[in-house]
Structure 1
Amino acid sequence: MNKNQVVKSNQVIEASYQLSAVEQRIILAAISLIPKNKVITDDELYPVSVNELQLLGVHEKTAYRDLKEGINRLYERSINLSIDEKSIKMRWVQEVQFLDSQGVIGIRFSKPILPFISNLSKEFTKYALSDIAGISSAYAIRIYELLVQYRQIGKREISIENLRTMLELGKKYPLFADCKKRVIDTAVDQINEYSPLKVTYEQKKTGRRVTHILFSFKEKSKGGDENNINKSKDFYKLTDAQINMFGNQLSRLHEFSHLALEGESYEALALKIKDMLRDQSQQKRLIPYLKNLGFKP
């Protein structure tokens, strides 16, 4: 299983909670570090750096501020899960640490949440951390997870009431038209632009009122989506967010150190590699490394 994969129990996917996009990125980056198929304790501290947030789409000029603000809020956040007809409220994290000089924070997950994000053998959902790179809407990340849970089916119907509960909308957007514009349409647009899925949806009515949304989706690569794949089968037209993320990741691999001039920084090397990702004649040699990092052509 790829070390950059996010694995969550389906109870967490469908839980009721509210996290900002930055807070979700911090949580997801930390979850991707948890060893798979291994029992862990709540003693483990998981580091998340400014660089990792940048890879997930946070602007470099605000990444450090967002990291500190996000982790401070995250310490107070809780999640409501439905388990065996019981509603259980628990915290995401029990401890946060700051390493200001390194631009790194450490988070220790709370003991009650661990069974739902580690050592899972059934009823779980997984996806590559890179799938949500570039997505800036917190609602889009949540809806993407709800769809990926039904990836093998390609359809998912969700009642408006359940969606509002899972996203903890509360009194926000009481009119469906506002919820559709601010939540659903924004989410679908960003998922279509940045993720591996192509999504459409239908509104279903009970009487005259819209009560359900039926999402239909498929993998872009299987659908021949021209936004992701160039007419040449050997060249993949990556989004700017993908180029930024993978360029930064590839620059840290030993296999590409020979491309750097003596004394050249990782940032300068990353710029070269990003140009290679855009170049049809050079991209092909990078594809095996991209796949190892979670890219799905």
Structure 2
Amino acid sequence: MKNDLVIKSNTLVEACFNLSLTEYRILHVAFTELAEYESDKGLFHTREFRVYAKDYSKLFNTDESDAYKVLRDASERLFNRYFTYDRVYQKPDFIECVKSRWVQKISYADTQGYIKFQLADDVFSMIGQLKDCFTRYRLSKTAQLTSVYAIRLYEMMIQWQSTKVVPVIELNTLRERLAIEEHEYPRVYDFKNRVLDPAIKQINKYTDITVSYEQHKQGRIISGFSFKFKQKKDDKPKINTKRDPNTPDFFIKMTDAQRHLFANKMSEMPEMGKYSQGTESYQQFAIRIADMLLEPEKFRELYPILEKSGFNP
């Protein structure tokens, strides 16, 4: 997988839904394909995503013959899966509870070993490059997790990456986000023993963070949990592979999508003022910047601004 970055809105992270492990993984493989797009994301709105059994087995370390079966089974169930989320309206002030499917259509090719699907509109609007209120992480960081509870909790943690402290989540809210039915683990002891503790144990063992939690009470009853986490230290020695942009041959070939994505960002940056011409619009300026990024000499000249815009080769 060339890019394993997942970017999703906090609304989607906090949504309530019930997905199997395979279904969750399939959707998030598609999410990684949209992580780099922003202004041209709409061009892919009707795109059909494919996940091959051979790629699935490699990414999630499963037997390829098993991957064929789980993808086929997922194709039977995923079309009927849905999630619920709150849509907030400012004027007038009210909240609308929305239900949305994950996919608009889905198919499976048994002889070719792939599942093919098109994302629903609401899902599409909540993934990829977003202007604010989003969570991002590497899919590879959760690839070894075999519990959907663990994956969901991991996302809830990463949502608070800046502070590494997750405020109190009410017990009922946490149960809803983890898709635990009312009759399942009604006692807090069972919820902790069968859901929360095993999930955190997996996160601490297999991901890049270590999580702990504190329980909160109303009187003698446990009403919610808060969480803290810290990043694990990277034991591998860091090697500086960054090239010096001042060398005469410095040039990084960008994809068309990358050029236009970062050209749009750069067109609005004050540092680019000296390159603008007359009364051209931001869109016209962005197109010209994208062309400039094809020229090695201009690329070296613009690289500090390109890097500042978020480009990371």
**1:61 to partner: Cα distance:** 4.0
Match of 2:227 among 215, 224, 232: 215
Name stretches of at least 5 consecutive residues in structure 2 with no aligned partner.
89-94, 239-313
1:11 has 2:15 as partner: no
**1:86 to partner: Cα distance:** 1.1
Query: In structure 1, what is the equivalent of residue 124 of structure 2?
Result: 114
Q: Deviations over 1:138-169 (max 9, x none)?
A: 11111100000001111113111110111221
Query: In structure 1, what is the equivalent of residue 20 of structure 2?
Result: 20
Is the alpha carbon distance of 1:111 and 1:210 closer, same or farther for their aligned partners in structure 2, counting shifts above 3 Å?
Answer: same
Is the alpha carbon distance of 1:138 and 1:121 closer, same or farther for their aligned partners in structure 2, counting shifts above 3 Å?
Answer: same
The CA distance in 1 between the partners of 2:3 and 2:159, in whole Å, is 19
The CA distance in 1 between the partners of 2:65 and 2:104, in whole Å, is 29
**1:101 to partner: Cα distance:** 2.5
Answer with 95-104 or 156-165: which moved more. Answer: 95-104
Contact 1:42 1:110 in 2 (8 A): no
Partner SS for 1:71:
helix
Match of 1:137 among 137, 140, 147: 147
RMSD of aligned residue pairs (Cα, Å): 1.7
The CA distance in 2 between the partners of 1:16 and 1:93, in whole Å, is 16
- Equivalenced residue count is 225
Match of 1:53 among 52, 56, 62: 56
Match of 1:69 among 69, 73, 77: 73
Matches within 5 A, 1:1-297: 3-34=3-34, 35-37=36-38, 38-40=40-42, 41-54=44-57, 55-84=59-88, 85-156=95-166, 157-171=168-182, 172-221=184-233, 229=235, 234=237
Contact 1:26 1:71 in 2 (8 A): no
Contact 2:6 2:128 in 1 (8 A): no
Q: Deviations over 1:10-31 (max 9, x none)?
A: 0000001011111100011111
- Opposite residue 188 of structure 1, the aligned amino acid is I
Query: In structure 1, what is the equivalent of residue 266 of structure 2?
Result: none
The CA distance in 1 between the partners of 2:188 and 2:25, in whole Å, is 28
The CA distance in 2 between the partners of 1:86 and 1:58, in whole Å, is 40
Contact 1:30 1:107 in 2 (8 A): no
Q: Deviations over 1:12-70 (max 9, x none)?
A: 00001011111100011111112422322541011111133221244434111111112
Alignment TM-score, normalising by the size of structure 2: 0.68
How high is the sequence identity, in percent, across the aligned residues?
33
- Opposite residue 77 of structure 2, the aligned amino acid is R
- Opposite residue 22 of structure 2, the aligned amino acid is V
- Opposite residue 39 of structure 1, the aligned amino acid is K
Contact 2:75 2:107 in 1 (8 A): no
The CA distance in 1 between the partners of 2:55 and 2:130, in whole Å, is 25
Q: Deviations over 1:218-254 (max 9, x none)?
A: 11017xxxxxx3xxx539xxxxxxxxxxxxxxxxxxx
Displacement over 3 Å in runs of 4+:
57-61
Name stretches of at least 5 consecutive residues in structure 1 with no aligned partner.
223-228, 236-297
Contact 1:57 1:136 in 2 (8 A): no
Query: In structure 2, what is the equivalent of residue 295 of structure 1?
Result: none
